[in-house]
């Protein structure tokens, strides 16, 4: 697309933002948000006419790319027909979205409860688990993010939880992370075994009769794109079966093509009881989320009232965008493209950068879902920024990427490489070339 720069209007957008808009996760006074004017495919533009390759997919959600014409048209067509409807009524857009989602999930899944996003999907999944089991505790990993509402932020492990701990009966445990093992493991298999032993100990000490659910990001997202080692998820499933615990797979970030599968758990031999989804289902074009419910849990509420609901549950515009997104992904081979890009371009390309740049301690990922664990010393694995914080090196990394027309996703000492599932080989290679240039600069922070 051709975009005409308009710096004067861009300044007015910035000024109005600073006067009227209150931003998330930020001290407001020092903010200098980028003002985005337009987007298409794997790129977006600011008002000065600068073009950026979106290696962040915004918040790791623009799976189908920016402004996909089929999804845009579906939203327009639905708006012209029926813009909104109360959730107690039936609607064909909602029906079609639910049917497609259930058919993509595991065979034990039955129905979909729609929400407004991932956080309230987590809230309702936890509620379902508690009511289904008549138990109350929620187990989740320290390295996790599940959303910024009551139970969701309490289930979260990262530092955003600390000022927000108001929900009760949440317990955290250490999940597998072989590169920075909490279990002194020397292999992925050993990491998996010891992490499962640790989890079972936590279950024993907390009391199996008190634990309603274990909620896990299938591939941990914001906390580092942590791909579970062999047999770990299968082991979690076995523990849940052994102790009568509901297994909730949080696929908010990892679902709908991000790992090269429709759902990330499909990379392993495991079936959850509840699946949380959200922004990836329609690339965030309209706010949406939901819980995919197994037959067994859905049956709990055949005669028993489910005490939850949302005004915008299954909103027609959101549902229509999901239908169009899923159909386009099937028709255009977008899931297959994500898998191919990961296997043939991003995986090999990032590992080549690791060989060249000592500051890259580890490369890990699947599909279009990758992270670089950045260090000052490979021997000690000392991180390039502290847990819960940043550093001059990470600041320089982001600045240098943007200066070269690439939008990165950085968190603590990591850079995540998470472009749209629609990215082309040429675009991915262009992004890798920019990263090569940037890490040539950042290598000066290496001390080993």
Q: In sequence order, what DSSP letters do the residues of 144-211 get, joined into one string? A: ----SSHHHHHH--SGGGGGG--S-SEEEE----GGG-SS--SSHHHHHHHHHHHHHHHHHHH-GGGE
Query: Residue 441 has what pLDDT?
Result: 98
Q: Residues with Cβ < 8 Å from 238, sequence gap 6 or more?
A: none
The upper half-sphere exposure of residue 441, i.e. CA atoms within 13 Å in the direction of its Cβ, equals: 16
Kindly list the domain boundaries of the chain, sorted by start residue: 7-67+333-445, 69-331
Cα–Cα distance, 200 to 241 (Å, whole number): 12
Q: Would you tell me which CATH number, out of the four given (3.90.1150.10, 3.30.420.40, 1.20.1070.10, 3.30.420.10), belongs to the domain 7-67+333-445?
A: 3.90.1150.10
The Cα–Cα gap between 327 and 247 comes to 29
pLDDT value of residue 320: 98
Show pLDDT as tens, one digit a residue, over the chain (448 residues).
778 999 999 999 999 999 999 999 999 999 999 999 999 999 999 999 999 999 999 999 999 999 999 999 999 999 999 999 999 999 999 999 999 999 999 999 999 999 999 999 999 999 999 999 999 999 999 999 999 999 999 999 999 999 999 999 999 999 999 999 999 999 999 999 999 999 999 999 999 999 999 999 999 999 999 999 999 999 999 999 999 999 999 999 999 999 999 999 999 999 999 999 999 999 999 999 999 999 999 999 999 999 999 999 999 999 999 999 999 999 999 999 999 999 999 999 999 999 999 999 999 999 999 999 999 999 999 999 999 999 999 999 999 999 999 999 999 999 999 999 999 999 999 999 999 999 999 999 999 8
Q: How far apart are the first and last CA of the chain?
A: 45
- The pLDDT assigned to 2 comes to 76
Strands in 36-40's sheet, in edge-to-edge order, are 36-40, 43-46, 51-54, 406-407
The C-alpha atoms of residue 55 and residue 433 are separated, in whole angstroms, by: 13
pLDDT of residue 98: 98
What tokens does 357 get?
């740049």
Give the span between the Cα atoms of 140 and 58, in whole angstroms: 26
Q: Which CATH class is domain 69-331?
A: alpha beta
């Amino acid at each position: 697309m051709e975009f005409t720069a308009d710096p004067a209007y861009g300044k007015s957008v910035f000024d109005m933002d600073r006067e009227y808009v209150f931003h998330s996760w930020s001290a407001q006074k020092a903010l200098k948000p980028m003002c985005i004017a337009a987007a298409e495919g794997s790129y977006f533009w600011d008002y000065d006419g600068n073009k950026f390759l979106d290696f962040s997919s915004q918040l790791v959600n623009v799976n189908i790319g920016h402004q996909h014409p089929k999804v845009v048209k579906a939203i327009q067509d639905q708006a012209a027909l029926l813009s909104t409807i109360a959730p107690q009524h039936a609607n064909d857009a909602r029906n079609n979205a639910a049917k497609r989602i259930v058919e993509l999930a595991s065979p034990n899944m039955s129905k979909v409860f729609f929400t407004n996003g991932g956080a309230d999907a987590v809230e309702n999944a936890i509620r379902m688990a508690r009511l289904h089991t008549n138990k109350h505790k929620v187990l989740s990993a320290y390295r996790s993010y599940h959303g910024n509402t009551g139970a969701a932020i309490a289930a979260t492990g990262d530092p955003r939880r600390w000022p927000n701990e108001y929900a009760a009966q949440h317990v955290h445990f250490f999940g597998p992370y072989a590169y920075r093992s909490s279990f002194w493991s020397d292999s992925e298999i050993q990491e998996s075994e010891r992490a499962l032993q640790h989890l079972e100990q936590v279950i024993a000490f907390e009391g199996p009769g008190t634990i309603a659910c274990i909620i896990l990001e299938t591939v941990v997202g914001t906390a580092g794109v942590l791909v579970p080692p062999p047999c770990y998820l299968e082991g979690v499933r076995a523990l849940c079966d052994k102790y009568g615990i509901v297994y909730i797979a949080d696929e908010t970030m990892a679902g709908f093509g991000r790992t090269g599968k429709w759902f990330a758990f499909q990379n392993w031999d495991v079936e959850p009881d509840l699946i949380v989804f959200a922004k990836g289902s329609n690339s965030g074009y309209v706010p949406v989320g939901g819980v995919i419910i197994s037959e067994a849990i859905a049956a709990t509420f055949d005669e028993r009232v489910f005490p939850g609901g949302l005004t915008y549950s299954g909103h027609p515009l959101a549902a229509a965008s999901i239908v169009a997104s899923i159909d386009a992904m099937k028709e255009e081979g977008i899931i297959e493209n994500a898998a191919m890009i990961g296997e043939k371009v991003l995986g090999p390309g990032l590992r080549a950068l690791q060989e060249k740049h000592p500051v890259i301690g580890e490369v890990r990922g699947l599909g279009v879902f990758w992270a670089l664990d950045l260090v000052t010393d490979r021997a000690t694995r000392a991180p390039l920024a502290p847990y819960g914080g940043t550093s001059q090196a990470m600041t320089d990394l982001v600045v240098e990427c943007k200066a070269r027309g690439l939008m990165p996703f950085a968190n603590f000492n990591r850079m995540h490489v998470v472009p749209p599932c629609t990215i082309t080989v040429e675009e991915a290679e262009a992004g890798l070339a920019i990263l090569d240039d940037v890490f040539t600069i950042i290598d000066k922070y290496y001390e080993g």
